[in-house]
Every structure is written in structure tokens, then in C-alpha cells.
Amino acid sequence: MKLVVAVVQDQDSNRLSNALTKNDFRATKLASTGGFLRSGNTTFLIGVEDDLIPKLMDLIRENCRSREQMVAPVSPMGGNADSYIPYPVEVEVGGATIFVLPIEQFHHF
């Protein structure tokens, strides 16, 4: 058994949650915040049998796509402002960051 921790952008979370439910995967959703862009994310905790990992990865891949987005950079809080870019820049957001961890025990009460 594995614990899959999937961090996805909020825009993709409802679509992924629906796909997981439709395909009989149980998941716990946690609100989280990204560090670089300080944008909203959703972290899914999913307990899954080893043989279902490929199916789960396919579901995540199909429902969490990266995209380009214009972002206004955060102004510097001290230090050298010479490198500060005062205008919006296009960055790639979305997709999913996935961690697969081994589980020694699993209990459901």
C-alpha cells in the first residue's frame, strides 16, 4: 500500500476530486498555499494499493494540466531593489506535484 500526496492548483482540484470519486479512489482534501507564487493549492492524501498506482497517476495527469498565467511579482521587502521587475510576467502554473510514500500500516475505523 502507498500514500500518494498530490499537490494541485485550486483550479484543478474540483475536476480531480470528481474524477477520483468516479473511479472509486478515496481522498482527503487539504487547503494549502504555494510558496513561490503564494497561490492557493489543494493537497490530496490518497491511500492506494500498489497495483492501482498507474491508474491513479493517469487520472491526476488527465485532470491537472499546467498552463501559462500572468503574475504580478511581489515587491522586495528590503535588500536590493535593482533586480525587482515591476511588471507582470508569464509563468507556468498548474499541473501536479506528487509524492508516493510506502505505508507500513493502514487502519480505518
> Which domains are assigned to the chain?
1-70+87-100 (3.30.70.120)
Q: How far is CA 96 from CA 68, 76, 82, 100, in A?
A: 14, 28, 33, 13
pLDDT on residue 81? 55
Give the model's confidence band at 50: pLDDT under 50 very low, under 70 low, under 90 confident, else very high: very high
The amino acid sitting at 99 is F
Number of CB atoms found within 10 A of residue 89's CB: 10
- Between these two residues, 83 and 72, which has the higher pLDDT value? 72
In the predicted structure, residue 44 carries a pLDDT above the cut 90: yes
In the predicted structure, residue 59 carries a pLDDT above the cut 80: yes
In the predicted structure, residue 40 carries a pLDDT above the cut 90: no
Instruction: Tell me, rounded to whole angstroms, the distance of Cα 20 from its chain centroid.
Output: 14
In the predicted structure, residue 77 carries a pLDDT above the cut 90: no
Q: Which of 88, 84, 98 is nearest to 68 (CA)?
A: 88
Q: How far is CA 11 from CA 2, 33, 99, 104, in A?
A: 26, 13, 20, 33
Give the model's confidence band at 104: pLDDT under 50 very low, under 70 low, under 90 confident, else very high: very high
Give the model's confidence band at 3: pLDDT under 50 very low, under 70 low, under 90 confident, else very high: very high
